[in-house]
Structure 1
Amino acid sequence: MADSQLSESYIQDAFHSYLKSSLTQAKAEKLLDADILSSAEGDLMITGPALCLYFAALRCTTNPPSVPLPRHNKTSRPMELSYDNCPEPFVPFLRVWSNTVPAIQGLAPENQHDLARMICNMEPLVTPLQPSLNGIAADLRAVAIEISQRRSFQDRYASDLQAALDSGTTPASPTKRAAFVPPPSYDASPVSSVNSSPRSSFDGHSRQASQASPQYARHDLPPQSPSYLSPSPSSNGFPPRSPSPQILAQNSPAIEFIRETLYASLADALDRQPSLRTLLKTDPPRAYFASVAFAVLDVATSSMTHDGAVIGVLGQNLTLAQCPPELRPFMAELASIGRAAREMQEEDNETAMKYAARGKEIPPTRMDRVRMMLEEGVGYAQGRRDSDEGRRSVQGRAVSFTNRINALSLGMTRLRAFRERQADVFKVLAGIGA
């Protein structure tokens, strides 16, 4: 079997070939316009791959589903990506995608079009909404999020967007340029710039970190001078960006207040999810995103007040009114995630009590599935079993909720203020996992 497996690079080349044509088709069908394609919005990292998976499902002609691969030349024999030749890292992606193919092909044409609109964050046209569309869109976007976290994808996505922008243009209509820039790369080498031990580099105010929503990724926020931040008496342990030992001072912008509150929570994520330490050794970038995702969930559920304020690392509150306008949607989404998480936990508790009252084994809760997906991805083994046993809702609520957390994370980590500190934070995380 191993000898028959295609190489990862071969599949990556094929995917980006299809991604260019999918983005071009989406532009022609007015699902994406030139302004969106040229923007640096974080959600674009999700929309593009999700559309590629959608169009691949429409083209599929095999059972079980497989993906026809582009030929290198006219004499090349036709080849399809299947479970028999799929590289191991891509098998979960293929499995989740395969499960969506019959559902997508079974939709009426108008519902297929609505699914494409939902992938692109557009309102569906048909009412009432076909219930299954939510679950299908959630699955496609979940796989797209996994793909968007791969460095090989990030390094090539700008050229994919540019190819779509160049399509259909003439010399009389200048082409827009794709503004997408990959996030920083990460080096899991031992910590050398942190004087304190890696574990003690997080302060006692640690709460779990968060991840910003896609639509905020285009903002490179200017310095602000909020009056609610008081000088920090000591560093929280992250490598400082200046000779000053203070991480936050009176003139610190609000984005830094949020950033340090979230990053201070990463240690808690590693404490509560010990398996993340192993992941730090085997897949550092994924471990970083997963740690931030768990931090977002914790901050949303334990560090948000009822009026949407964030309780920060210095014991200070950042209210929605004090937050710069560019960050208020981010704050609102963080608070909304917290409310949704609490509702989900209450429903999980009610379900558990019903099972217990009947003397039945309590199945994994939706929140359990969310945590597994944050760490292992949408194709994790238990999730497949839950789906096979009918425990997953048609609307895919756990997947949709996980997608919200991950989308917030992707957008947040692309903000300039977070990019400035990611390399340092990742070194600390790498040291903890060493």
Structure 2
Amino acid sequence: MSSSRSPTHTRTRSGTQLSEEYIQNSFHSYLKSSLTQAKVERLLDADLLSSAEGDLMITGPALCLYFAALRSTTNPPSVPLPRHNKTSDPTELSSENCPPPFAPFLRVWAQTVPSIQALAPEHQHDLARIICDLEPVASPLNSNIHGIAADLRAVAIEISQRRSFQDRYAADLQAALDSGNEPSSPRAKKASFVPPPSYEMSPPSSVQSSPNTQNLPLPPPSPTYSAGHQADIHDLASQSSSHLFPYTPSAGSGWPSRSSSPSILTPDSPAIEFIRETLYAALGDVLESHSSLREMLKLDPSRAYFAAVAYAILDVATTSLTPEGAIVGVLGTPLTLDDCPPPLRRFMLELAAIGQQAAEIQEADDARATKYASQGKCIPTPRMERVQQMLVEGIGCSTQHSDGEEGRRSVEGKAVAFANRINGLSLALTHLKTFKDRQDQVFKVLAGIGSS
């Protein structure tokens, strides 16, 4: 056998692990080109790229993973990485050299590669359209592409929750916007994406001057802020979640009443603040009942924040929605769809849809458990339990499950898609200005709880 190898199969030396920084730089290099290509193919337009609205924070990384799958030429699949310079050897990201934090991402991505490459060109294009939230155009529709898109978006969601990604995403969007323009010409559009607040605990003296906080709006007055003086962060962290996010049942109502201080929310507060405080009030209950989230707060505060908010969305959707779709939240007051201004109604409708789908999943889980029990078989892990696990641990955890005769892809794919739906609403809500104004304060408190 010849000792020479095809450049497409060149790997780094056995046992050598690539650095996280190297992978991050490579990813953002490809992300810029992926966003640019999507703009050229009119999958994304300049207005969307500049506004960073919708779920573009998920779409961008998912497109990058899609294009990487098309470029992969090895078995098992690996990612060809850009060269540092013209004389450097080709390098591929594989299971052998992948940094541990990225191993679950690579594993799930690699499982999608054969399916993506097996698609006809028109169905590959439809997959890209679905990733970009566009309708497929090929007929007949390939039924597999929705499941593939769900897996790619699930990995993209986890990538988008990393602080290192958030800090560089605006530059990636701007590079795509500037592509095709003359270097000397003025920028026609500017990327408006702003990373969410950083959730690392900081010494009190650095709060106002930290690069991550100096341009952020201060939270509104609350019991933890005295008039004209910002409370010491260590004082905030010393308060329990039950004090900041109290949860008390509403007597005789059958609905949980998540109370909030009137200085934060009053009966006359805007609907978005009502939704925000209802979700934040649910965080205390979520953290109290899930030790894995409290542990994650110590290891990865930013990731824990998104996981906790997503879990709170599921909690509110399954415990605080009336049959008519109203939210019974803070102050024990229902918020109806008619009470919401038009721009917020899509969030209310999505929350109600999540509650309805959760009920359907629970019903299917119960029926499935009854069926297996009647046949004397071991009852598989409920799909809802898998959804909850993915919200906390990410998409990588789902590959450890097996659904026996029903097949992992059909059942697990639905769980992934539902987890994506919850995570998508979480990202959309937490990037609204009203959430950003308060989440910096809220999560500094939660980070303190996790480190105590």
Please classify the TM superposition score into its range, dividing by the shorter chain length: 0.7 to 0.9
Query: Is the 2:276–2:435 contact (alpha carbons within 8 Å) kept by the matching residues of 1?
Result: yes
In structure 2, give the amino acid aligned to 1:135: G
Query: Is the 1:206–1:264 contact (alpha carbons within 8 Å) kept by the matching residues of 2?
Result: no
- The correspondence for 1:236, drawn from 257, 260, 267, is 260
Distance 1:60 1:410 in 2: 30
Distance 1:19 1:430 in 2: 31
Asked if 1:355 is matched to 2:372, the reply is yes
> What SS is found at the alignment partner of 2:410?
coil
User: What's 1:30 paired with?
Assistant: 42
Query: Is the 1:320–1:328 contact (alpha carbons within 8 Å) kept by the matching residues of 2?
Result: yes
Distance 1:206 1:286 in 2: 29
User: What's 1:366 paired with?
Assistant: 383
> What SS is found at the alignment partner of 1:4?
coil
**CA positional deviation for 1:368:** 1.1
Of 128-137 and 59-68, deviating more is 128-137
**CA positional deviation for 1:275:** 1.3
TM-score (norm 1): 0.88
Distance 1:332 1:261 in 2: 16
In structure 1, give the amino acid aligned to 2:376: G
Distance of aligned partners of 1:291 and 1:174 in 2 relative to their CA distance in 1, 3 Å threshold = closer
**CA positional deviation for 1:284:** 1.0
Asked if 1:203 is matched to 2:220, the reply is no
User: What's 2:415 paired with?
Assistant: 398
**CA positional deviation for 1:396:** 1.4
Query: Is the 1:191–1:430 contact (alpha carbons within 8 Å) kept by the matching residues of 2?
Result: no
**CA positional deviation for 1:174:** 5.1
Distance 1:4 1:136 in 2: 31
Query: Is the 2:199–2:440 contact (alpha carbons within 8 Å) kept by the matching residues of 1?
Result: yes
**Alignment map for 1:3-18 (pairs within 5 Å):** 4-18=16-30
User: What's 1:217 paired with?
Assistant: none
> What SS is found at the alignment partner of 1:185?
coil
Distance of aligned partners of 1:206 and 1:3 in 2 relative to their CA distance in 1, 3 Å threshold = farther
Of 256-265 and 266-275, deviating more is 266-275
In structure 2, give the amino acid aligned to 1:86: C
Distance 1:206 1:95 in 2: 43
**Alignment map for 1:26-425 (pairs within 5 Å):** 26-170=38-182, 175-188=188-201, 191-193=234-236, 196-205=239-248, 236=260, 246-380=263-397, 383-386=399-402, 390-393=407-410, 396-425=413-442
Of 97-106 and 40-49, deviating more is 40-49
| Unaligned runs of at least 5 residues, structure 2 | 1-12, 203-232, 251-256
User: C-alpha offsets along residues 322-363 of structure 1, whole Å, 9 cap, x if unaligned?
Assistant: 111110000000000000000010001000000000111101
In structure 2, give the amino acid aligned to 1:329: R
In structure 2, give the amino acid aligned to 1:52: C
Query: Is the 1:199–1:267 contact (alpha carbons within 8 Å) kept by the matching residues of 2?
Result: yes
**CA positional deviation for 1:395:** 8.2
**CA positional deviation for 1:36:** 1.1
User: What's 2:210 paired with?
Assistant: none
**CA positional deviation for 1:272:** 2.5
**CA positional deviation for 1:373:** 0.6
Distance 1:3 1:260 in 2: 49
In structure 2, give the amino acid aligned to 1:342: A
Distance 2:239 2:187 in 1: 53
Distance of aligned partners of 1:178 and 1:57 in 2 relative to their CA distance in 1, 3 Å threshold = same
> What SS is found at the alignment partner of 2:408?
coil
Distance 2:198 2:403 in 1: 35
User: C-alpha offsets along residues 373-402 of structure 1, whole Å, 9 cap, x if unaligned?
Assistant: 10000011x533337983231781111110
Distance of aligned partners of 1:388 and 1:102 in 2 relative to their CA distance in 1, 3 Å threshold = farther
In structure 1, give the amino acid aligned to 2:191: A
Distance of aligned partners of 1:12 and 1:174 in 2 relative to their CA distance in 1, 3 Å threshold = closer
In structure 1, give the amino acid aligned to 2:292: S
> What SS is found at the alignment partner of 1:375?
helix
Distance 2:259 2:377 in 1: 51
Distance 2:448 2:239 in 1: 11
User: C-alpha offsets along residues 100-122 of structure 1, whole Å, 9 cap, x if unaligned?
Assistant: 00000000011000000000000
User: What's 1:229 paired with?
Assistant: none
> What SS is found at the alignment partner of 1:80?
strand
Distance 2:105 2:72 in 1: 15
User: What's 2:10 paired with?
Assistant: none
- How many residue pairs get aligned? The number is 401
Distance 1:156 1:196 in 2: 33
TM-score (norm 2): 0.84
Distance 2:288 2:240 in 1: 16
In structure 1, give the amino acid aligned to 2:193: F
**CA positional deviation for 1:251:** 3.5
User: C-alpha offsets along residues 183-219 of structure 1, whole Å, 9 cap, x if unaligned?
Assistant: 1111246742367444432212489xxxxxxxxxxxx
Distance 1:114 1:24 in 2: 18
Distance of aligned partners of 1:52 and 1:361 in 2 relative to their CA distance in 1, 3 Å threshold = same
User: C-alpha offsets along residues 248-304 of structure 1, whole Å, 9 cap, x if unaligned?
Assistant: 124311111111111000111112222111111111111111111111001111111
Identity rate, percent: 66
In structure 1, give the amino acid aligned to 2:195: P
> What SS is found at the alignment partner of 2:92?
strand
> What SS is found at the alignment partner of 1:192?
helix
> What SS is found at the alignment partner of 1:68?
strand
Provide the alpha-carbon RMSD of the alignment: 2.3
Larger radius of gyration: 2
Distance 1:45 1:301 in 2: 26
Distance 2:70 2:428 in 1: 29
Distance of aligned partners of 1:132 and 1:112 in 2 relative to their CA distance in 1, 3 Å threshold = same
**CA positional deviation for 1:427:** 2.3
Query: Is the 1:188–1:426 contact (alpha carbons within 8 Å) kept by the matching residues of 2?
Result: no
User: What's 1:213 paired with?
Assistant: none
Distance of aligned partners of 1:164 and 1:154 in 2 relative to their CA distance in 1, 3 Å threshold = same
